[in-house]
Amino acid sequence: MPGPRAVVFDLDGLMFNTEELYQDVGAQLLRRRGHVFRQELLDRMMGRPSHIALQLMIEAHALDATVEELLAETDAIFPEILRTRLAPMPGLVELLEALERGQIPKAIATSSRRAFVERVLDPFGYQPRFAHILTSEDITHGKPHPEIYLTAAERLQVSPGELLVLEDSANGCSAAVAAGAVTVAVPGAHSRQHDFSGAVLVADTLRDERIYRLLGLEG
C-alpha cells in the first residue's frame, strides 16, 4: 500500500516551542489579574484559534477584559520572548530535509494568526519551504473542526487519506482524524497527558523513526 503523498505540520508546539511560550504569556495575563494559569484551562485552549482560546480564558476566570484587550497584551509581550527563546522542536530540521530529498510536498496548518506565523518562520527562512501555509484567517471553523485539514488536502491536490498530519495537541489530532488524514501525534511536555484517540502513532519526537517509515523515507 503506498504511503502518504503529502505532509501537513501544525506549528505551535510541533514545529517550534511556542506552546511553552504561549503558556508563559497566558500565565502573565492571568497573574496581572490575580489568577493562576492551570493545566486544565491550558488543555482546553491548546490548538484553538487565539480569539476562541482567550474567550475560554475570560470565561474560566470571569475576567473583566475583552478578547481584543487580551490579544493586544499578548502582542505586546510576545516579541521579546520570541527574540530570546524561540527554537525549533527536536527533529524538525532533519525531517524537513528528508521530505525535501523525498520530494514529498508539505504544508502548515495552524490555529495561529498569519502575522504571528510569519514572525516565527521568517528568522529561519522557512516560508518558501512549504507549498501552502494555512492560518486561522483562512478558515471559518477552527480546530478541532476538520476544515483546516480538508482545505490543506484540497490545496495540496491529494485526498485527505493521502495526507499525513503531524500534531501535538488533542484538539489538533481530533481535527486531523475527523478529516480522514493519517494522523501522528507528537506530544511535548505540555501535552503528553492528552487523549490522542484515532492517531495511528504517538511519536516520541519528530526524530521518531516510525514517522520516517510511514513516509517511506530514510532517517
Can you name the CATH fold of 6-17+88-215?
Rossmann fold (3.40.50)
Residue type, 177: V
Which residues belong to CATH 1.10.150.240 in the chain?
A: 18-85
What pLDDT digit, counting tens, does each position of 188-209 carry? 988 899 999 999 999 999 999 9
Residue 137 identity (one-letter amino acid): E
DSSP class of residue 89 equals P
Number of Cβ atoms within 10 Å of the Cβ of 5: 17
Rounded average pLDDT over 71-84: 91
What is residue 129's predicted lDDT score, i.e. its pLDDT?
97
User: CB neighbours (10 Å) of residue 140?
Assistant: 9
195's grid cell: 487523549
Domain at 18-85, CATH homologous superfamily: Putative phosphatase; domain 2 (1.10.150.240)
Global pTM reads 0.86
Whether the CB-CB separation of 25 and 86 falls below 8 Å is answered with no
Name the amino acid, one letter, at 42.
L
Q: What is the pLDDT of residues 139-162, one digit of tens each?
A: 999 999 999 999 999 999 999 999
